[in-house]
Amino acid sequence: MLERTGYPAGVPCWVDVIHPDLDGTKAFYGGLFGWTFEVRTPPEAPTQYAYALLDGSTVGGVGGPPSDKDRPGWTSYICVEAADDTAAAVEANGGQVLVTPVDIPRAGRSALCADPEGAVFGLWQPAENRGAQVVNSPGSWNFSELNTADPDGNERFYGAVFGWVRTPFEFGTGQKAWFWRLPGYGDFLAEGDPEIRERQAADQAPGDFADAVALLQPLAGDGGAGATARWTVTFAVADADAAFARALELGATVVTPLFDTEYTRMGTVRDPQGAELTLSEYRPPTQA
């Protein structure tokens, strides 16, 4: 398990969920992923917030009860150098700033934004909290994904705000999708993990995947009735079937049953308080 020490600007770096029942949140995710929790807020605070830990390293955050500014579901935060400047860029390119930048004691500076379609994401200007220390390992955050009815418009928005580039790829199921790339991110990763490109080549990853920072998929039915643009989160698991069954035992409900792609076995559940998450077991072609 390789521990992260930071993220460059433009890379998603943190995820959290704010629920009405914080104890219930801890019980569900602790039971599913083996997380423990470090409470970061004083006892008298109206909303409690805790870091979720996997083997002592941060993987995200949980909190509750929600304030009127909090949004339901998991939120993905993108690392930025200056939250105020990036919030201004969000508005200048047609997005909205839902919660203006605010300092989080002992952690960093954050803001909550929405893209032109209304998909909500966070900005994170790191201080002591430099982002999730563990990602991609079983029990940790694996990827965030934008579901959109306007891929072209979002390419313009996220390209202008974060420098992202949209690159097509195939899941192996015929499903149309793209990944977001931040040019140069692969070089950053290779500085701390010199063997990463060799592993990706052995797993037959797409050529530009070293720079991938997120996924992009069109909404089902091309954005038909009831479809809503949104960001979703995927967590890595060692055994998708076992994790899916465990989630249901803990009170989750099925959103998308397990299915296989060229690289993964995955499915989506809704936790007992309504947040959706995808569970994904990595199965590259070399392991088939």
What secondary structure letter does DSSP report for 2? P
pLDDT of 134-155, one tens digit each?
Answer: 999 999 999 999 999 999 999 9
Domain ranges for the chain = 12-126, 141-287
pTM: 0.93
CATH code of the region 12-126: 3.10.180.10
Q: Is the pLDDT of residue 170 over 80?
A: no
pLDDT of 68: 83
Cα–Cα–Cα angle for 179, 32, 40, rounded to 5 degrees: 85
Where is pLDDT greater, at 170 or 13?
13
Q: What is the mean pLDDT of residues 102-114?
A: 95
Residue type at 49 in one-letter notation: Y
Q: Are 210 and 197 contacting, i.e. CB atoms less than 8 angstroms apart?
A: yes
CA distance 144 to 173: 20
Reading the block at residue 32, the tokens are 């599913």
Q: Look at 47 and 5; give whichever has higher pLDDT.
A: 47
Position 8 pLDDT exceeds 70: yes
At position 167, the amino acid (one-letter code) is: T
Averaged pLDDT score across all residues of the chain: 90
| Per-state percent for the chain, helix, strand, coil, to nearest 5 | 25, 40, 40
* 62 closest CA partner among 36, 30, 87, 26: 26
Considering the domain 141-287 in this protein, what is its CATH number? 3.10.180.10
